[in-house]
């Protein structure tokens, strides 16, 4: 078994995000300085990464639960406070790196009821999640799930094409310090920290192509062992480089909490479907998909030298991955298959368009299935679905967001 001697090509490993986790309170006089310091730090670190050849795509700020610093008495009071926050954040838009903001988590039915109109008004500066708990018997809080379903449906009603659901997710067994939106949140024990997240599909594809060119005659088991070793080796060398850059900074105002090693695909990089094909799976969704998913998850969990936080697993975000979008048109998988793959990968049902008239009880049951898997398997899973008004299963979406690919609406059986 031969391993490719790939050069350290930093263009293949992008820093998807530098994310800071902050604590806000009701003293609004503190807000500008908190945001200014976080933005200044993230921009400075991004410059350090850039000077060493690494591209940084976005910087992000995540807060504690929004009810801890925003007046949630009613929608009007919440909107007024968020307008003040939005005024501060708008100052940093359009200059340099994209700054994204998450207002933390919603904790109850009342707070969930505010979210649709807040997302409608503030869009990408209002990313938010809800964490659904389970008891010792893995029984989920179904009342809170039902309230989350109402929120998802209302967001679809009040935002064009239901795209506002891009900014809301339902979390199951998710811990603080996820750097990716909108599952991000932080508790009091983890504030004043920062995390980095990567975008590595280009690196995975380049590594597998080089490995296959040297080892095309190996048996499957030996080949898979080689894939694991080669992929870990290639990711690890970039992680080591990034760690060295962080270590060389003389003064850091936040504690470095770790890395989310997930591949985090986007519209602007190789598709994860190509990774599967290079590993011998005929197409994503064909026989062998679960095995390959398990191997990739093991790769992301094998990274050393940085603490692993967040998902640190395989992300399959349907409308953020061009290859998955194409696969949906070919009916290569359905929503049940995506849920099955979640048993061995990292994120759950993410950015999945479903019929706009999907009954609430079905959406609730879908969340319950995902949540049950998350707690029984002790892994973080989320549900971020888009009920698209006016569309039925088999239709094609017409999203206009720069972050989203158009794909086939999947039925909820």
Answer whether residue 335 is part of any domain.
Answer: no
Each residue's pLDDT tens digit, 388-400 = 999 999 999 999 9
Domain CATH code at residue 86? 3.20.70.20
Average pLDDT over residues 319-343: 95
Share of the chain above pLDDT 70, in %: 96
Give the Cα separation of 368 and 145 in Å (integer). 8
Give the Cα separation of 299 and 204 in Å (integer). 10
Domain that holds residue 162: 1-319
Q: What does the radius of gyration of the chain's CA atoms come to, in whole angstroms?
A: 21
The region that residue 80 occupies, defined by phi over 0 for left and psi between -120 and 50 for alpha, beta otherwise, is alpha
Each residue's pLDDT tens digit, 157-181 = 999 999 999 999 999 999 999 999 9
Model confidence at 47, in pLDDT bands (50, 70, 90)?
very high
**Total domain count for the chain?**
1
Average pLDDT over residues 61-90: 96
Each residue's pLDDT tens digit, 92-144 = 876 677 789 999 999 999 999 999 999 999 998 899 999 999 998 889 999 99
Peptide bond into 339 cis (omega under 30): no
Cα first-last separation, the chain: 45
Q: 30: how many CB neighbours lie within 10 A of its CB? A: 13
- The pLDDT score that the predictor gives to residue 220 is 66
Answer whether residue 12 is part of any domain.
Answer: yes
Answer whether residue 329 is part of any domain.
Answer: no
Backbone angles phi, psi at 264, to 5 degrees: 50, 65
With a cut of 80, say whether residue 221 has pLDDT above it: no
Model confidence at 34, in pLDDT bands (50, 70, 90)?
very high
Answer whether residue 407 is part of any domain.
Answer: no
Answer whether residue 369 is part of any domain.
Answer: no
Answer whether residue 23 is part of any domain.
Answer: yes
The region that residue 251 occupies, defined by phi over 0 for left and psi between -120 and 50 for alpha, beta otherwise, is beta
Answer whether residue 353 is part of any domain.
Answer: no
8 Å CB contact between 412 and 335: yes
| 328 burial level (CB within 10 Å; 0-12, 13-18, 19+) | buried
Give the Cα separation of 358 and 283 in Å (integer). 28
Answer whether residue 161 is part of any domain.
Answer: yes
The Cα diameter of the chain in Å comes to 66
């Amino acid at each position: 078994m031969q391993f490719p001697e790939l050069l350290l090509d930093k263009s293949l490993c992008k820093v998807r995000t530098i994310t800071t986790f902050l604590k806000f309170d009701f003293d609004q006089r503190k807000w500008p300085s908190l945001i200014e310091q976080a933005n200044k730090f993230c921009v400075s670190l991004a410059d350090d990464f850039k000077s060493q050849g690494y591209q940084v795509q976005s910087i992000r700020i995540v807060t504690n639960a929004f009810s801890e610093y925003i007046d949630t008495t009613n929608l009007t009071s919440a909107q007024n406070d968020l307008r003040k926050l939005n005024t501060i954040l708008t100052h940093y838009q359009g200059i340099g790196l994209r700054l994204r903001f998450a207002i933390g988590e919603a904790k109850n039915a009342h707070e969930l009821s505010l979210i649709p109109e807040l997302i409608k008004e503030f869009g990408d500066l209002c990313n938010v999640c809800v964490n659904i708990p389970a008891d010792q018997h893995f029984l989920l809080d179904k009342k809170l799930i039902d309230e989350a379903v109402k929120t998802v449906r209302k967001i679809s009603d009040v935002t064009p094409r239901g795209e506002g659901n891009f900014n809301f997710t339902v979390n199951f067994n998710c811990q603080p310090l996820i750097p990716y939106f909108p599952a991000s949140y932080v508790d009091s024990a983890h504030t004043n920290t920062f995390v980095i997240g990567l975008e590595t599909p280009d690196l995975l594809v380049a590594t597998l192509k080089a490995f296959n060119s040297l080892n095309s005659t190996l048996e499957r088991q030996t080949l898979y062992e080689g894939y694991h070793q080669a992929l870990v080796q290639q990711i690890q060398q970039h992680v080591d480089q990034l760690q060295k850059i962080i270590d060389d900074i003389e003064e850091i105002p936040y504690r470095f909490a770790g890395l989310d090693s997930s591949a985090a695909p986007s519209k602007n990089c190789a598709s994860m479907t190509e990774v599967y094909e290079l590993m011998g799976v005929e197409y994503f969704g064909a026989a062998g998909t679960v095995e390959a998913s398990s191997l990739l998850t093991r790769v992301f969990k094998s990274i050393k030298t940085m603490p692993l936080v967040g998902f640190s697993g395989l992300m399959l975000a349907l409308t953020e991955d061009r290859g998955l979008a194409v696969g949906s048109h070919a009916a290569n998988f359905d929503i049940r298959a995506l849920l099955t793959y979640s048993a061995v990968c990292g994120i759950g049902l993410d950015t999945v368009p479903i019929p706009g008239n999907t009954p609430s009880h079905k959406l609730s049951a879908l969340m319950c299935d995902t949540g049950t898997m998350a707690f029984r398997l002790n892994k973080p899973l989320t549900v971020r679905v888009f009920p698209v008004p006016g569309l039925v299963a088999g239709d094609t979406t017409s999203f206009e967001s720069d972050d989203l690919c158009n794909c086939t609406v999947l039925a909820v059986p």
